[in-house]
Amino acid sequence: MTEVLGRTDRDILRAAGMLRAGELVAFGTETVYGLGADATNGLAVAAVFEAKGRPRFNPLICHYESAEAAFADVVAAPLAARLADTFWPGPLTMVLPRRAGCAVALLAGAGLETLAVRVPAHPVAQRLIAALGRPVAAPSANRSGRISPTSVAHVLAGLGGRIAAVIDSGACRVGVESTVVDLSGPKPVLLRPGGVSAEALEAALRAAGREEDSRFRGNDGIAGNEGIIRGPGMMEAHYMPNLPLRIDATEVRGDEALLAFGAPLAGAGVVFQLSAAENLNEAGATLFEGLHWLDEQAAALGLTGIAAMPVPRHGLGLAINDRLKRAAAAAQ
């Protein structure tokens, strides 16, 4: 059963308690309803992907109470600070490099070195994040491939019974998702058009003295409303291991590290256990941590590759296999 909560302080505190306990709570933002999880809890983030039925791990947006809180987790280039002044709280998401001490689970950022951050303008979202005292990772609160929800009824139609609660936050003022701009490289790149218009963004860039970077429209940064294409291959943006990765391994060579799921294959020296209990949500939560760690270990020990044991192809197993397959292809 999915509980429908109201907007009283008691309800908000209850919702924050659920998030703290690793449960999922949908809540309103000024753009669309988000499916929230404690961003620092990898298992809770894995549960988001499972509830959405996402066949792959797309990076999620982390929602913060303030720009200060966001910039404690990501590195704010001067331009990012300017845009935050202009558009936050509001429907702008900025992709920025993670800081070393960032407590956000790697799975929330799909293992990338960048993190998408935003400060929403909706009072319910703000109160919820403040009550939790941690960033809230939240994709739109719809089943994968469906339209983003802008009411409690939409959320319940898609996710009723799959999440702990939804906060009745009223209507979504903007009604389309946030604009996503990548500021992690030398030039800002518009990844997804959204609630902040390209014109408004361009004007802000010009005001910041970045005239030469202020023409988004017509460059190859926009590809329909799917966004996230900044050139061939960008759609595949994901963590790439440095070493060759062999998937569905049924034996392990002496010069390979092992990514285990369940009882490890015999003979492996360096092992990262995704889930000893063969729990797919746990495996999703630990996947990117495991790949990063194995990469480091394997390089330090002079190993030549990583062997990944088979992971069942149901539930989150689909997303896990999708990522493993891409990582295997990318590393070749």
Among 2, 178, 275, 281, binds ligand TXA (CB under 6 A): 178
Does 29 bind Mg ion (CB under 5 A)? Our answer is no
Smallest gap from Cβ 307 to ligand TXA, in A, equals: 28
Contact 33, 149 (CB under 8 A): yes
Stretch binding ligand TXA (CB under 6 A), from 11-19, 55-63, 75-83, 261-269: 55-63
Residue 61: which of ligand TXA, Mg ion, none does it interact with, CB under 5 to 8 A by kind?
A: ligand TXA
Does 275 bind ligand TXA (CB under 6 A)? Our answer is no
Smallest gap from Cβ 139 to Mg ion, in A, equals: 5
As a whole number of angstroms, the distance between CA 181 and CA 116 comes to 9
As a whole number of angstroms, the distance between CA 231 and CA 96 comes to 19
Q: Considering the complex, state which of residue 140 and residue 286 has its C-beta at the smaller distance from Mg ion.
A: 140
> Cβ neighbours of residue 164 under 8 Å, at least 6 residues apart?
2, 3, 18, 23, 24, 25
Contact 165, 5 (CB under 8 A): yes
Among 2, 29, 169, 275, binds ligand TXA (CB under 6 A): 29
Among 16, 24, 76, 115, binds ligand TXA (CB under 6 A): 115
Among 40, 41, 126, 140, binds Mg ion (CB under 5 A): 140
Residues that bind ligand TXA in the complex, under the rule CB under 6 A: 29, 31-32, 34, 58-61, 91, 93, 95, 109, 112, 114-116, 138-140, 177-178, 180, 182, 191-192, 227-228, 237
Interface positions with Mg ion (CB under 5 A): 140
